A and B are shown apart, each in its own frame.
Chain A
Amino acid sequence: MDFELSNEQRSWQMLARKFAEEEIRPISLARDAIETPRETWDWDIIKKGSKLGFRTMAVPKEWGGHGTDFVTQALVMTELAKADSAISKAFSQNWKWSHLISASCTEEQKKRFLPAFVADDTFVLGKGITEPSAGSDNRMPMDDPKTGVKLRAERQGDVWILNGEKTFIANAPVGKLFFIDARTDTTVPPKQGTTMFLVPSDTPGFRIGKVFNKSGWRFYQNGEMIFENARVPHANVVGEVGGAVHKAGGAGGDTTGGDLFGDLELSANALGICDDACETALRFVNTAKRGGQVLFAQQNVQLQINRMFMLTEALRSYVLRVAWEHDRKIHSHNAGLAMNYSTDVVQEVTELYMAIRGSQGCHMDHHADKIARDAFIWSHLAGDSVSRMKVTRRIH
């Protein structure tokens, strides 16, 4: 077992650490405090990060990207998330769908979309799955044809006409290209009757509705998508008609039915928040004084710090093991378990951090409040009972 990072991995990590500390952290709290949800996004930081490679790092080198391995991707997400979890996610969301393009798109589709994506610092990707009446049902699909996505796609010659809506879609308000799951056959179970389409944001008949006002991850945009006779060329069908069940980790040879990158992504991002909480907490207890002594002098504080670091280091081991296994095409339920575990860890660690800081009079530190709100996002993405049961079904 070799825990040493390669020079290339180390240099990406250092680049990310420098960018995170010098560019992301200084804007993090101010962005979180902006009240209007569509104004929390900052194109400037996206462009700066894009020029350093943080938008395109999962695109293969032959397509002009950086072709980084999973370990590098995990390291970079953690470093970026340490300064701001939501901004880290805004970058890594592009990697998730870069993986999907590599895994599932044809050469012709790659030619149409990848060079444009790589060249444009403001080209952001997204995927629309969830609908008002299909959330958990998409994660654990059933055989009943009435369940699952309702967004309808009907073919007219070389064009598909899409009608319906998507909700809670990450990057919807800022993305230029989306993968959209639509129902192409309502008489068969959703697994067989759903097709994935590439939908550029300027598609006629497609628009963004409400931009959601979230309590955590405020920088990261999330919105509704509305399709009113949206016209999508047949050439934009990803894979087969009726075969929407593509996963972003497919290129890695995933046979577990999981989303290789997506699972790793959430656990690596959580690790960054934990690193931030641990480091800030340690600095705080070594400087803040109560009763004439630094907080670190107190047994209870030492026990809290102990638990924060123990959980964080255990999560790091799990995250890097999963990334390392992915790079060796060893795929198991571990990616999903690490994602579930990261929910428990990131919430406990941020709550301990808040407890250590305590309220000052009747004020709470903005940073402690922010990372606790960010951490709660995991509850519905990575740690809800459906996520956990879905992972459990891979353990066989």
Chain B
Amino acid sequence: MYNLHLSAEQLEIRDTVRDFVTREIKPVALKAERLDLRDRSLPMQLLDQASPMGLRTLALSEDRGGAGADELTCCIVTEELAAGDADIAAVLATTSWLGHILFDYAMSDAQCERFLTKFASDDRFHLAFAGHEADVDTRLGVNYHRPAVTTAPVNTTAVKASSGEWIINGIKDCVANAPIAALFAVSVAIPGQSNAKVLLVPGDMPGLSVRAYEKPWRHGCSGDVTFKDCRVPADHLLGDDAAALLVGIDAPGEGISSFQALNLGIGRAAYEAAVDYAQIRVQGGRPLIEHQAIGTKLAEIAIKLEVARTAVWQAAWASDHPDAIADRSLPDLPLKSIAQIFTSEMMMKATKDAAEIFGAMGVMRDMPLQKYIHDARVCLHSGNGNSDTKLRLAEVIAGYRRPAGPAMAIAGE
């Protein structure tokens, strides 16, 4: 049964995170220097505080020391965090979800044993998936409803040395969490094998270097990762299905529902700021909120937020209850993509409307509204963009079956 009642645990964690955001994150996030888009340096201290609360290992199963949160709970937490700071929300969502995929599904018991203790106990142990490579375009575009391979080729290679070690060479770009990751999952092409594989590479491995981006068009932190004769032990190779689990994990609309919840959090921050201001600021002889034009604008923002949240939660709930599609409770459509498109378009409008209420203060870089607009733009134009996501949705509606290809193709094939 489709159920919008949050569990006692979900309500409790929401209150806890909301309180953390109010007491700890907002005082830092709303400082003028942090609002200035030129300074996107991560507040590491806040990330350190979030970890013992369980937010870094939120989705990791309880058996393995995590909170075992389902996707809906992850969305609730990420929205709360993003209402405080989108970058903190993005870093935690990435590590949390990768931790779940890697430790709960992709790693062998031996691999888990090697990394899990450190991951579960070290508050600074973040995770990154290095999949994307420069100049690789996976947009459907002209290949909509046409049989062309649109998966990303992998040019980074892993060659087996006589010692049995893997020697990795290549460059990955746009790697979320790269500047702070203690462990990377890296997609590689292995000569002689048709599908791409994934290797585990600790961040301090010789031959691995990270160049952090100063102002990425993405939340959290990200950068290029270069592998130059980087050697990892033979048993760092993940099983064949790991690649399939990880592909698209960093792409909005595909991997993590939390990305849409993050977008919601940005809109909510703008909305709450606008409501507060409209109640205090007096022009035309009354508080702004008592003017029809402003009241209607706030109502429209509230509508966008509520409807978008419903879409995001439904998609997350569907992930948590796969049988809901099988029993025809929900349509067999890519609900995350639908939530992603709707949310990003609505939050763009919502943040702009909220900023307009602030007049000139809405464009000042030491004030929050321009940052919310920027953050919403980043969500709207990230990854392959909404045009492409709509084409993928259209293929599903049309019943078009794209010829099955490898999860990640190898370059030249």
Closest Cβ of chain A: how far from B250's Cβ, in Å? 9
Taking a contact as CB atoms under 8 Å apart, the answer to whether B283 and A136 are in contact is yes
Closest Cβ of chain A: how far from B143's Cβ, in Å? 5
Total chain B interface residues with beta-carbon distance under 8 A: 53
Taking a contact as CB atoms under 8 Å apart, the answer to whether A214 and B285 are in contact is no
Given contacts A135-B283, A380-B363, contact A290 B382 (CB under 8 A): no
Q: How far is the CA of A297 from the CA of B355 in the complex (A)?
A: 37
| CB of A6 within 8 Å of the partner chain | no
Taking a contact as CB atoms under 8 Å apart, the answer to whether A297 and B293 are in contact is no
Please name all residues of chain B whose beta carbon is closer than 8 Å to the beta carbon of A212 when the two chains form the complex: 360, 364
| CB of A379 within 8 Å of the partner chain | yes
Taking a contact as CB atoms under 8 Å apart, the answer to whether A290 and B142 are in contact is yes
Q: How far is the CA of A383 from the CA of B352 in the complex (A)?
A: 12
Q: How far is the CA of A319 from the CA of B150 in the complex (A)?
A: 45
Q: Contacting chain B: which of A113-121, A157-165, A357-365?
A: A357-365
Taking a contact as CB atoms under 8 Å apart, the answer to whether A362 and B213 are in contact is yes
Please name all residues of chain A whose beta carbon is closer than 8 Å to the beta carbon of B217 when the two chains form the complex: 359, 362-364
Interface string of A123-142 (1 = CB under 8 A from B): 00000001000011100101
Taking a contact as CB atoms under 8 Å apart, the answer to whether B173 and A215 are in contact is no
Taking a contact as CB atoms under 8 Å apart, the answer to whether A379 and B355 are in contact is yes
Please name all residues of chain A whose beta carbon is closer than 8 Å to the beta carbon of B384 when the two chains form the complex: 358
Taking a contact as CB atoms under 8 Å apart, the answer to whether B363 and A136 are in contact is no
Taking a contact as CB atoms under 8 Å apart, the answer to whether A355 and B38 are in contact is no
Q: In the complex, which residue of chain B has the Cβ closest to the Cβ of A388?
A: B293
Please name all residues of chain B whose beta carbon is closer than 8 Å to the beta carbon of A137 when the two chains form the complex: 283-284
Taking a contact as CB atoms under 8 Å apart, the answer to whether A135 and B359 are in contact is yes
Q: How far is the CA of A358 from the CA of B142 in the complex (A)?
A: 16
Q: In the complex, which residue of chain B has the Cβ closest to the Cβ of A135?
A: B359
Taking a contact as CB atoms under 8 Å apart, the answer to whether A362 and B218 are in contact is yes
Given contacts A377-B363, A380-B360, A389-B293, contact A362 B222 (CB under 8 A): yes
Q: How far is the CA of A291 from the CA of B297 in the complex (A)?
A: 41
| CB of A300 within 8 Å of the partner chain | yes
Taking a contact as CB atoms under 8 Å apart, the answer to whether A291 and B143 are in contact is yes
Taking a contact as CB atoms under 8 Å apart, the answer to whether A130 and B374 are in contact is no
Given contacts A142-B285, A300-B387, A361-B173, contact A376 B373 (CB under 8 A): yes
Interface string of B188-227 (1 = CB under 8 A from A): 0000000000000000000000000100111000100000
Given contacts A212-B364, A290-B141, contact A362 B216 (CB under 8 A): yes
| CB of A8 within 8 Å of the partner chain | no
Please name all residues of chain A whose beta carbon is closer than 8 Å to the beta carbon of B356 when the two chains form the complex: 379-380, 383-385
Taking a contact as CB atoms under 8 Å apart, the answer to whether A136 and B284 are in contact is yes
Taking a contact as CB atoms under 8 Å apart, the answer to whether A213 and B297 are in contact is no
| CB of A144 within 8 Å of the partner chain | yes
Q: How far is the CA of A293 from the CA of B137 in the complex (A)?
A: 12
Closest Cβ of chain B: how far from A332's Cβ, in Å? 23
Taking a contact as CB atoms under 8 Å apart, the answer to whether A144 and B174 are in contact is no
| CB of B153 within 8 Å of the partner chain | no
Please name all residues of chain A whose beta carbon is closer than 8 Å to the beta carbon of B137 when the two chains form the complex: 290-291
Q: Which residues, 149 to 168 on A, are CB-close (under 8 Å) to B? A: 168
Q: How far is the CA of A377 from the CA of B352 in the complex (A)?
A: 11
Taking a contact as CB atoms under 8 Å apart, the answer to whether B355 and A372 are in contact is no
Q: In the complex, which residue of chain B has the Cβ closest to the Cβ of A215?
A: B370
Using A213-B366, A295-B141, A363-B213 as known contacts, list a sample of 14 further A-B pairs with CB atoms less than 8 Å apart, ordered by residue number in A: A212-B360, A298-B142, A300-B391, A355-B386, A355-B387, A361-B173, A362-B218, A363-B216, A363-B217, A379-B355, A384-B359, A385-B293, A385-B294, A389-B293
- Which 8 residue pairs are nearest across A and B when measured between Cβ atoms? A385-B293, A215-B370, A362-B218, A136-B283, A364-B217, A213-B365, A362-B174, A168-B360
Interface residues of B (CB under 8 A from A): 36-38, 132, 134, 137, 139-143, 148, 150, 173-174, 213, 216-218, 222, 283-285, 291, 293-294, 297, 348, 352, 355-356, 358-360, 362-366, 370, 373-374, 377-378, 380-387, 391
Q: List 14 A-B contacts (CB under 8 A).
A: A130-B360, A213-B36, A214-B364, A215-B363, A291-B143, A291-B148, A359-B381, A359-B382, A361-B174, A362-B173, A362-B213, A362-B222, A364-B381, A384-B356
Interface residues of A (CB under 8 A from B): 35, 130, 135-137, 140, 142, 144, 147, 168, 212-216, 290-293, 295, 297-298, 300, 347, 351, 354-355, 358-359, 361-364, 369, 372-373, 376-377, 379-380, 383-386, 389
